[in-house]
Amino acid sequence: MWSRLVAVVAVLGLQAEAMEKNPVSNADMCMLAKTLDGKVLLSTATCCVGYARPMNYLCPAHTGEETYDTTTKQYLMDCDGEIPTGVIIAKGPGDVSKALAYAKAANVAFRVKSGGHSQACLSTVKDGVVLSLESMKKIEYINHDDGSVFVTMEAGVTLTQLRADYIANSHVYFPHGLDPWIGAGGHFTGGGVGHLVRKFGFGTDFVVGMDVVLPSGEFVQVFEPEYEERLTGRLSVYNERDRQLLWGLKGSGHANFGVVTKFWMRTIPRPAYVVLGKYSYNIADKTSVEEYWNSMCGFYSKAPENETAGERNLLVWPMVSNNREGPGFLMRFIIYYIPDNNSTAQGALDEATPVVNAFLAHVNGLTFHSGGIEAVAENGQFPNLVDPSVSRYSPTCVSRIIPSREDVCNRDGWIGKFADFIFEEISLFPSRGTTLFTYFDKWGGAASLNDANFERTSINTRNAYGTIQFCRIPLNVAARDTNAMINGEGGTKDFNNTVLADVGNGWYLNFLDTLATEPEQIYTEPVVYQRLKKVKHDYDPTNVLHRPLGVPLPGSEFLADSTLALVGASAPTVQDYCKLSGTLEGAVLMPVMGCCGTDPWPPGVPCATDTSNNAQLSYAASQARLLVDCDNLKPNALIIARSALDITKSLKFIKERDIDYRIRSGAHSQSCASTCTNCVVISLEELKGIEYVTSDAGATFMGVEPGVELKQLVADYQDHSDVYFPHGLDAPAGIGGHLGGGAVGYLTRKFGFGSDFIVGVELVLGNGKFVQVNDQDYEEQLLGYRRAHNDEDQDLLWAVKGNAHANVGVVTRYWMRTIPRPSYMVKGFYLFGVQSAVHLQSFWGSVCKFYSVSDESPKAKNLILWPFVRSGNQLMLQVFYLPDRNDTASGALAEAEEVLHEFLVGVTAPLITQSIQAVPDKMQFADILNDQGGRTTYSCTSRLVRKREDVCDNWSFLDSFADRMWYEMVNPVVDQTFFAYFDPWGSAATTNDPDFVKSSFMGRHAWGTFQYCRTPVGAVTREALWATVDTFDSLIASQISDSWYVNFQDRTTTNRSQVLFVPEVNERLQTIKAKYDTTGVFSSPLTVALPERGW
């Protein structure tokens, strides 16, 4: 993402300025326009002359839907003096990212708008740039399997469009306001106050996810965890910062921490009928005003928890305003009632009537003018909302938050001042040139109970009793005097200072008021304000989204305040593991059996073996799959995953508690890197699916899950297909770690590494996101179509092919290309006796001579020889030959013997026995299918040989090696045997992908590997075995250059540089790690490190 931002800035040729804002350059804006899917609108029509992009894309005189005039006229009239130099019309998150990069680099005054309904004009800026989301208007409905309906809407959707859309296309809705020209972006990041607040809560309470472009330019999605799985099929591994971002955006967003481009909303059923009404009363004197206001206080005097359901269904808006039908002023009650019984109009009316009458009983002392209620179809309840013809005819208002009932219902205080002011203004009408209205909006009730502790949203005002607004409207719009309506006698400031001075704490309604001067007058809850500052610091540290009344960056003393530290991680309890187990398709296995019996989650869902799907699982059985060397490593819990979603949930559980963990597939890690002590292991052993896909062109692909062991893989493709791909021979090796680490095997010299055959992967990233990435050359054959891949996708695939090992994600399936399996192959061995060190040297020399030919013949590449030196004074040559002519056994054998002769002529050691035969394909892996050896394991050191010269022309190595081997043959160690062998990868393998174009496997540039192993015979300790191995390892290290180890196979590996040894590959891997695992979710001693800051 950063590379794209840097590219945009480079195109513009701009330098960031630190302090004062720069004037907007039309030329720079036009250059930005070339990079956008949207457009740039400027006050000058000729700005883009001379630029290559079509003129109708850039200049306001030639645009289609949007023009500079139309977009700037979306603002309220009060904002006509705050006209920007340019407007960026974004068509998607990519445009938003580029606009933020431009604003940061150009250092211009910058604002973001969705609908333009900011009464304080905070979504525009004079002589600056506005990023407008007005063209992002898409609305979609998601019907979940459980019957619930979700809505996604882009930030430029107006309430007019929203309401018309859900009336036409669904039976659901969610709380929102009534002003038709409001844009979703500002409305739902600021609370979403409207007519449903008392019954259902704020609109923001219904936001369950957001798409956001951060000030850095990065695009992220953040969800409430309990909804994300239902919406996306995944569950992200959110850290505390992610949760704080979503919390901050839900109520205090307003472009403080990022630009929201899409909202994900839960919904509620829309009623068939609602009850609407209006009651008006004459104002006879000042006492009438007082009596009117007290009637409202009488009805709303109950504590929220004591209100009945019917009372919460009723919303009353008390208003004082002109009598539009005659002289004088009226006091009005606007009635809105949401019935529980709404299937018929009469039923709705019958339910509402007694509740409305109970309210009207409080106004018996007033003189009735007119009014009544009626049940109307829900589709027709807001004709003013679907007809925004007077959208810019805006009042000038002061909007104050009322913290408590006492602040507005105190007859001896505020009400008297209110009555005096209103009655005086009535007597002066129409000399002011304006009319007025004032109303009270009672939020309390169910709304404040919905999230009283600010756990889910940052709406500062949710604990307030309500708001009071006083507005002036010009009688003659053409002669409108905004300054007089604000600052003149009887204006909003006069009302604020005269009437509201003693009400509450002087808080203003979030971003609606022109009189607020400090953020502290808007962010009313100190604890909330401090948390918002922390979110600002984390997501906008350079204050790209600075604007008046925005959340400020915290000071140094704030960041040092220990009380603001995020909640610390705690070690999981047995009950925590049990609860996790209850959410998984798999299970959590623990050393303590039956752990969930004391605290069931739910009853019968175990940590071990109580469910039918997991009945065969146990902690002991899973641990017994490890090599013997790893027996002393006991994790606190094994999480057995059965799906990608299980992996996501497990990572989330682990990340939240900051506990050490490992990931394993088959448990064949010689270095025990797939397990640990006092930690958690996520085991993929139950992900064992294998499937075959045949393309229209006849190519066969295999989909293999990571828990498949090599013995299962071989048995499956021998039974179900005539294809295979390169892999190793160790039966218990899991395909997840095997392919992720290169997949070296007997086919390497002829066909390359197993990782070269990976053409696609499905994996869970560090943030919990599930993705599928395919090689562009094969995707259409796999899926039947091609997707638009970016470079980052291919980078991710490159990193996984050879360095998966939980560096950037957990692979849940590999997609493999295949090659035809031969009918016959030749396999066997030659066994030689050893009578001196000279025999060892001649044997090794024959190996080197055979593998020294740089331009090998095709038949030579068909042969792989594994030379073994082993206890019992023996040299063994293990042979695999893949004949070109394999339709008959005799033909295959004859071809192999011809090539083998070239090797055998150089061996001086006496031949003891031999067994070479051509075998049918189904017999070639009998040793794997029989799983010979099981857990009886050897302890090894595995060194990469970068150059042939290191082991063939290095006489110091040859002498030391031969002398050491002869010494061990003559002086055997009690209870131990040994073997040493060379695995020649070179030749075809190293030339297959020499520049790491398709694979990140670093071992591909090596000539081969050299391994030395000790095997227990009796009661020898593992420590004694390793002491001997370490002695030999020191000998090799002193003779072979570079001292590189086979990727993750060696216990003696101590740091990353011994495994990740190709600098340019390591640097590229670090860059990819920073993109896909930014917080280091995947971290173990030998994984790729995150780059240092400044990388």
- Nearest Cα residue to 494 out of 504, 479, 482, 484: 484
CB 975 within 8 A of CB 1020: yes
Whether the pLDDT of residue 991 is over 70: the answer is no
Q: What does the pLDDT read at residue 174? A: 92
- Nearest Cα residue to 224 out of 244, 243, 202: 243
Q: What does the pLDDT read at residue 927? A: 56
Query: CB 564: neighbour CB atoms within 10 A?
Result: 15
| Mean pLDDT computed over 400-426 | 76
Residue that wins the pLDDT comparison between 1019 and 416: 416
Most confident range, picked from 90-94, 548-552, 771-775, 791-795: 90-94
Whether the pLDDT of residue 854 is over 60: the answer is no
pLDDT digits (tens, 9 = 90+) for 286-316: 777 777 777 777 777 676 677 788 888 888 8
Residue that wins the pLDDT comparison between 74 and 931: 74
Q: What is the DSSP string of 312-354?
A: HHEEEEEEEEE-TTSSSEEEEEEEEE--S--SSHHHHHHHHHH
Q: What is the rounded distance in angstroms from the CA atom of residue 955 to the CA atom of residue 288?
A: 112
What sign does the CA torsion over 631, 636, 640, 641 have? negative
| Mean pLDDT computed over 979-1004 | 60
| Mean pLDDT computed over 607-627 | 65
Which range, of 106-115, 368-377, 813-822, 933-942, averages the lowest pLDDT?
Answer: 933-942
Which range, of 444-458, 641-655, 1018-1032, averages the lowest pLDDT?
Answer: 444-458
SS (H, E, C) 220-267: EEEECHHHHHHHHCCCCCCCHHHHHHHHHHHHHCCCCCCEEEEEEEEC
- Give the strand pairing for 661-664 and 680-683: parallel
What sign does the CA torsion over 924, 928, 930, 936 have? positive
Q: What is the rounded distance in angstroms from the CA atom of residue 949 to the CA atom of residue 844?
A: 13
Residue that wins the pLDDT comparison between 967 and 855: 967
Q: What does the pLDDT read at residue 261? A: 94
Which range, of 8-17, 208-217, 978-987, averages the lowest pLDDT?
Answer: 8-17
Q: What is the rounded distance in angstroms from the CA atom of residue 506 to the CA atom of residue 468?
A: 12
Most confident range, picked from 53-57, 219-223, 605-609, 919-923: 219-223
Q: What does the pLDDT read at residue 1031? A: 78
- Nearest Cα residue to 876 out of 838, 913, 930: 913
Q: What does the pLDDT read at residue 381? A: 54
Most confident range, picked from 500-509, 629-638, 791-800, 1072-1081: 629-638
Q: What does the pLDDT read at residue 54? A: 39
Portion of the chain with pLDDT greater than 70, in percent: 72
pLDDT digits (tens, 9 = 90+) for 936-967: 567 777 777 777 777 777 767 777 777 778 87
| Mean pLDDT computed over 506-513 | 58
Please enumerate in sequence order all residues whose Cβ is within 8 A of that of 365, keeping only pairs 6 or more positions apart, or say none. Answer: 291
Query: What Cα–Cα distance (Å) separates residue 285 from each residue in 296, 368, 409?
Result: 18, 14, 19
Q: What does the pLDDT read at residue 118? A: 73
Residue that wins the pLDDT comparison between 326 and 931: 326
Most confident range, picked from 60-69, 171-180, 513-522: 171-180
Q: What does the pLDDT read at residue 558? A: 40
Query: CB 922: neighbour CB atoms within 10 A?
Result: 14
Structure tokens at 127: 């002589």
pLDDT digits (tens, 9 = 90+) for 316-352: 887 777 776 666 678 888 888 989 888 899 999 999 9
Whether the pLDDT of residue 127 is over 50: the answer is yes
Q: What does the pLDDT read at residue 701? A: 94
Place 114 in a pLDDT band, splitting at 50, 70 and 90. confident
Q: What is the rounded distance in angstroms from the CA atom of residue 1084 to the CA atom of residue 804?
A: 13
Most confident range, picked from 191-205, 225-239, 405-419, 1050-1064: 191-205
Whether the pLDDT of residue 539 is over 50: the answer is yes
Place 675 in a pLDDT band, splitting at 50, 70 and 90. confident
Place 474 in a pLDDT band, splitting at 50, 70 and 90. confident
Place 1078 in a pLDDT band, splitting at 50, 70 and 90. low
Q: What is the rounded distance in angstroms from the CA atom of residue 596 to the CA atom of residue 604?
A: 8
SS (H, E, C) 750-803: HHCCHHHHEEEEEEEECCCCEEEEECCCCHHHHHCCCCCCCHHHHHHHHHHHHH
pLDDT digits (tens, 9 = 90+) for 581-590: 888 888 888 8
Q: What does the pLDDT read at residue 706? A: 93
| Mean pLDDT computed over 213-223 | 86
Whether the pLDDT of residue 578 is over 50: the answer is yes
Residue that wins the pLDDT comparison between 558 and 149: 149
Omega within 30 of 0 (cis) for the link into 430 = yes
Q: What is the rounded distance in angstroms from the CA atom of residue 620 to the CA atom of residue 206?
A: 46
Q: How far apart are the first and last CA of the chain?
A: 14
Portion of the chain with pLDDT greater than 90, in percent: 9
Query: What Cα–Cα distance (Å) separates residue 406 from each residue in 414, 422, 465, 466?
Result: 10, 20, 9, 12
Which range, of 66-75, 111-120, 414-423, 838-847, averages the lowest pLDDT?
Answer: 66-75
Q: What is the pTM of this model?
A: 0.61
Q: What does the pLDDT read at residue 141? A: 95
Q: What does the pLDDT read at residue 509? A: 63
Q: What is the rounded distance in angstroms from the CA atom of residue 106 to the CA atom of residue 93?
A: 20
Instruction: Please tell me whether residue 1015 adopts helix, strand or coil conformation.
Output: strand
* Average model confidence (pLDDT) across the chain: 75
Query: What Cα–Cα distance (Å) separates residue 213 from each residue in 526, 540, 887, 909?
Result: 27, 11, 61, 71
| Mean pLDDT computed over 632-643 | 88
| Mean pLDDT computed over 503-520 | 64
| Mean pLDDT computed over 14-43 | 73
Q: What does the pLDDT read at residue 682? A: 92
Whether the pLDDT of residue 62 is over 60: the answer is no
Q: What is the DSSP letter of 654?
A: H
Q: What does the pLDDT read at residue 31? A: 81
Residue type for 280, please?
A: S
Most confident range, picked from 6-15, 55-64, 883-892: 883-892
